[in-house]
Amino acid sequence: MQTISRIFRSGGRAEVAWLGRSIRQQVLLAISAMLILAIALMGTTAVVNGRQSVNVEIEASMDTAEGYLRELVRRITAENRLSELDDLVASEVQHLRHARIYIQDPGQQMRILRPPDADSDADNVLDRTPDWFETLMMPKGGNDHTRIINIEPNGRSLILKGDPDDEIAEKWEQLSALAIVAVIAIALIMAAFYFILGRILNPLTALAKGLAALEAGERSQRLEIPAVSEVEEITRKFNSLAATLDHAREENGELYRQIQSVQEDERREIARELHDEAGPCLFGITANAESIGSLANSLVPEQAEPIRKRTDEILSIATRLKSMNRTLLKRLHPVSIGKVPLSALIQDLIYDFERRHPNVRIGFSGAPYIKGYGERIDLTVYRSTQEALTTAIRHGKAAHIVIELRVENTGSAGHEGNSSAICLRISDDGVGLEPDTQAGFGLSAMKERVLASGGSLVIAGYEPRGTTISIKIPLSSAEQNSGITDPFSRASA
């Protein structure tokens, strides 16, 4: 049972690894496997047929050589030239293929007969042929194709043996050439398939990227109509869907901007009331408590001490209320928005979070001075950073957060050369998000706020690697040329 379960697990992993590849890789791997299998079958067939061919060739050569030598021996005997037999036979060996001729005298070892001008390397014909190929192609019986021709007058014998070496070498050369041609052909086929599949699948890749861009909030995303007819209709539907979403997002953005404007007006009104009403009241409480304490000083110590304790408590409570009031004012509507550079605004927010959460390290990376770009942009960046920090600390349990803020030039062909966008990136080392997790109220509100400003938002990273939120907000020409500039930037310039 354990073995079966291991097989199923390994099969499941193989299936996941296969399905995890791209379509192009899967098709190319499948074609490669089929080509390799076809080449293996063709190679096996070539070896079997070649082996039979070598065997037939050797048998035919041996028959021819035997008949030729018998006739030669008969003629030599008839001419009474047996003393010259070795030289005469040796001179005729060069006309015989796939055969070696040996002569054996009575009571002696047989010796090979060679032509007078024989090459010393003639016996090494298989040196350029691999041993495994020689073993595969060697015909049945190997070199054992022996024919014996007896020379009766003197008892000598001519021994004829088959020599498949040169035939096997020829087969090796032929198959090597075919293998080189096959490898080149396969490489060309795979390159052609790679190019063709790229042309076919590129529209699908562009479609996937377009869907990701739409999800991120890039409303102007459109795809070029491809030449592939099957994908053409899908692309047209995508562009139609993108246009519909663009219109719907524009309406939703306008509605959200109105809601946001009303919300900010209410926050501003509440902040004004807290500043104008609660502030003076707290100041009055503090002043009266201090006045009571001063009056108590004119009393005898036994009577003054209880009064001082009460006034000290009142002053302590008033101080805490003032701190809470300042915190609420900053959270409802920071007074510095529109009055200080954007980088200083974010750094002030970071200091506030570090004060309230001393165990969390928050790093800030970016240009030292980034000017303000008006209340709309500054407030969007401020609220997005505020919500991202709150989410990372409260839900992500992050101990280290990095905030990157920069202005990026987005000018391209067909656009103004000085087009730019505010880029905000917040990364944390928290528990991360589970895949397919629905965004909560805070992240949804952040995304709607960014989309209402014409920007895009991407949330990346899943557990346990933390989360990264990337925001890009395009700047109009008026926003680029307006806003608050850091006074120190001019001095440094």
Is 457 inside any structural domain?
A: yes
Nearest one of 161, 87, 149 to 123, comparing CA atoms: 161
HEC assignment per residue over 4-72: HHHHHHHHHHHHHHHHCCCHHHHHHHHHHHHHHHHHHHHHHHHHHHHHHHHHHHHHHHHHHHHHHHHHH
Is 319 inside any structural domain?
A: no
Mean pLDDT of the chain: 76
Last residue of a domain, one of 187, 216, 236: 187
CA–CA distances in Å: residue 20 to residues 8, 26, 203, 437: 18, 9, 20, 22
* Per-residue pLDDT, 490: 41
Residue 425: CATH number of its domain: 3.30.565.10
Residue spans of beta strands (DSSP E) within 232-372: 361-366
* Per-residue pLDDT, 220: 67
Cα–Cα distance between 436 and 457 in angstroms, integer? 16
336 phi, psi to nearest 5 deg: -80, -10
Nearest one of 322, 317, 469 to 387, comparing CA atoms: 469
pLDDT tens-digit series, residues 319-339: 888 888 777 777 776 766 767
pLDDT of 491 strictly over 50: no
- Domain span including residue 159: 38-115+125-187
Last residue of a domain, one of 141, 162, 187: 187
Is 210 inside any structural domain?
A: no
Longest dimension (CA), the chain: 166
Instruction: Give the helix/strand (H/E) hosting 303.
Output: helix 301-332
Q: What is the DSSP string of 214-254?
A: HHHT-TT---PPPS-HHHHHHHHHHHHHHHHHHHHHHHHHH
Number of domains in the chain: 2
* Per-residue pLDDT, 183: 85
Is 493 inside any structural domain?
A: yes
pLDDT category at 122 given cuts 50, 70, 90 is: very low
Rg (CA), the chain: 47
Is 21 inside any structural domain?
A: no
pLDDT of 19 strictly over 60: no
Is 345 inside any structural domain?
A: yes
pLDDT tens-digit series, residues 334-386: 766 767 788 888 888 888 888 888 899 999 887 666 777 877 888 888 888 98
* Per-residue pLDDT, 402: 92
pLDDT of 487 strictly over 60: no
The conformation of residue 455, written as its DSSP 8-state character, comes to -
